[in-house]
Amino acid sequence: METLDKIIAKIERHIPELEAERKRLNKRSARVKVIGFVFLLFILPLLAYLLGGKSIPFFAFMGLIIGVGIFFMAKEGFDLFKDRFKRRIINTIVKEFNPNLNYTPGGHIKKSEYFQSKLFNKNPDIYKGEDYLSGRLNTTDFKMSELHTMYEVKNKNGKTKHTIFQGLFMVADFHKYFHSETYILPETMWQSIGLHKKKHEGADLIRMENEAFERKFRVFSTSDQDARYILSPSMMERILELQTKYGNEISLSFRGTNVYIALSTNLNFFEHNMSKPVNEKTLIHGHLEDLKEMLATIDELNLNTRIWSKMPGRISSDKEGI
């Protein structure tokens, strides 16, 4: 708890301003909702009645516009608070936990790095993310962020959006340069693509001896030898444990000197509950646990163990994604 106490002491100077802003935003939001409620339920129906019901479609449209306006008025203020909170509070938590880490609230993994993973077949029409974290943890250089990628399908009613990936996306130094490419895809993804699929990005389907791993994942590689080198019995067990821990899909690719990890999750990290005071100790502890959870993958996959040699060419150590 020593780290938590240090964090609370560090953020103390930001608390009065952020807490006053939180209370002001909550009051304004409640006030706007009441005004909107009265207008939609009483004033608009009264006006429609006085006009003999002839303009009901118009008033219905006006009600919709007002409702959307109320939503965005409230959202804008909360978004500004969210950014300030993350820059002052979450950034302090990150730096106090490990000075070698860099945090950018609105940053995310670059689209080019997402494509370099070659984990997903569809190109996203919508690409967004937040909570970009980068730096070095022990001996591992890494970068990660929340990502949500989607593709759009046109139909007679306009466009529908479909999620390709939503979760935590990581690029980490694997401590080894491979000329081959190896992909580990969850069984559910493989089945959705089609059971006839024997290749992924030019890599062949490789059968592993671990039956439990085979039931959960499909392995594709341009080198059978490298695939078995990477997926040692202990590595397969760690991937299985990670999948069991989160209960969601996890995909990995090993290309060049990097491992790309896509962990599907609906968790939204570092979000403050606006109904709670900014300095509530349990919430600060929750944000610290969020940070530990994001970094746990590095330890759980044992990426800090340098058991391989590596050719020159590390991942870049930029402080902010695009």
Q: Are residues 108 and 186 in the same domain?
A: yes
Q: Are residues 31 and 166 in the same domain?
A: no
pLDDT means over runs of 10, the chain (322 residues): 76 86 82 67 60 58 60 67 90 92 95 95 94 91 96 87 94 83 86 64 91 93 92 91 84 93 89 84 87 86 62 42 50
pLDDT given for residue 318 in this prediction:
46
- What is the spatial distance between Cα 147 and Cα 170, in angstroms, rounded to a whole number? 10
* Number of domains observed in the structure of the chain: 2
Please, are residues 217 and 253 in contact by the beta-carbon 8 Å criterion? Answer: no
Tokens 């990670």 sit at which residue?
Answer: 242
Q: Are residues 89 and 139 in the same domain?
A: no
Please, are residues 135 and 298 in contact by the beta-carbon 8 Å criterion? Answer: no
Q: Are residues 89 and 121 in the same domain?
A: no
Q: Are residues 81 and 153 in the same domain?
A: no
Q: Are residues 184 and 41 in the same domain?
A: no
- What is the spatial distance between Cα 203 and Cα 32, in angstroms, rounded to a whole number? 56
pLDDT given for residue 109 in this prediction:
97
Q: Are residues 46 and 124 in the same domain?
A: no
3 state SS of 197: coil
Q: Are residues 20 and 143 in the same domain?
A: no
Please, are residues 90 and 286 in contact by the beta-carbon 8 Å criterion? Answer: no
Cα distances (Å, whole numbers) of residue 45 to 61, 64, 65: 12, 13, 15
Q: Are residues 84 and 142 in the same domain?
A: no
Among 97, 115, 139, the domain boundary falls at 97
Q: Are residues 174 and 228 in the same domain?
A: yes
Among 65, 97, 129, the domain boundary falls at 97
**Domain encompassing residue 192:** 102-322
Among 97, 112, 132, the domain boundary falls at 97
Tokens of 265: 């999750």
Q: Are residues 240 and 177 in the same domain?
A: yes
Q: Are residues 147 and 250 in the same domain?
A: yes
Q: How many residues does the chain have?
A: 322
